[in-house]
Structure 1
Amino acid sequence: MRHSAILSLGLILSACGQSEPRSTQYFEANLDEARKVVADCRAGSTRGDECTNADVAVQTVEGRERFKRFLGKD
């Protein structure tokens, strides 16, 4: 019984430390922060889904901006 309580407490505490990665939509709305996260990912100080989400957001926004310039809607 004691081991079960210790194991349960450990699982609860480990779940508290994990945060959900910010979404691509969040990074599209906060492009400067997305660029910082991408730079941190390339430097190796940040890893995981947040790197992917930030990179996709930067590429998406920059692609939209290029397309607008191409169409002359700048």
Structure 2
Amino acid sequence: MNIQPIAVAMVRVAPFGCGRAEPRRQLYFEAHIDEAREIVEGCRDGSVRGDECTNAERALSRNEAKERSKRFLGDGKAYTPR
């Protein structure tokens, strides 16, 4: 019985067969803010780990910065005194 071909096949399949998907990116979470909030909550309580935590936190920070900027600058129209 030749075990070498089986071992080579297992080595080639093993990295891909674990079923772990690539973490969602920051842009995804920027488009899905509610989902980013859920992930950040999971990161804080320890149920979620990895790169998704970082990406979701960055997306929330960026969203908060945009909201702050919007409140400060207004709707972007020029100010005309009355």
TM-score (norm: length of structure 1): 0.84
Partner of 2:65: 63
Paired residues, number: 74
1:2 aligns with 2:3: yes
Q: Does the residue aligned with 2:24 lie in a helix, a strand or coil?
A: coil
Q: CA RMSD in A?
A: 2.1
**2:34 is aligned with 1:28:** no
* Structure 2 Cα separation of the partners of residues 46 and 7 of structure 1: 33
Q: Which has the larger radius of gyration?
A: 2
Moved over 6 A (4+): none
2:35 aligns to what SS in structure 1? helix
- Percent identical among aligned pairs is 46
| Unaligned stretches of 5+ residues in structure 1 | none
Distance 1:37 1:11, change over 3 A: farther
2:40 paired residue among 38, 41, 61: 38
User: In structure 2, how many angstroms separate the alpha carbons of the residues matched to 1:19 and 1:4?
Assistant: 27
Higher helix share: 1
Alignment TM-score, normalising by the size of structure 2: 0.76
Q: Deviation per CA, 1:15-57, whole angstroms, max 9, x where unpaired?
A: 2312100010000000000000000001000000011000000
Q: Secondary structure in 2 aligned to 1:46?
A: coil
Q: Which runs of 5+ in 2 are unaligned?
A: 77-82
Equivalence map 1:5-16=2 (5 Å): 5-6=6-7, 8-9=9-10, 12-16=13-17
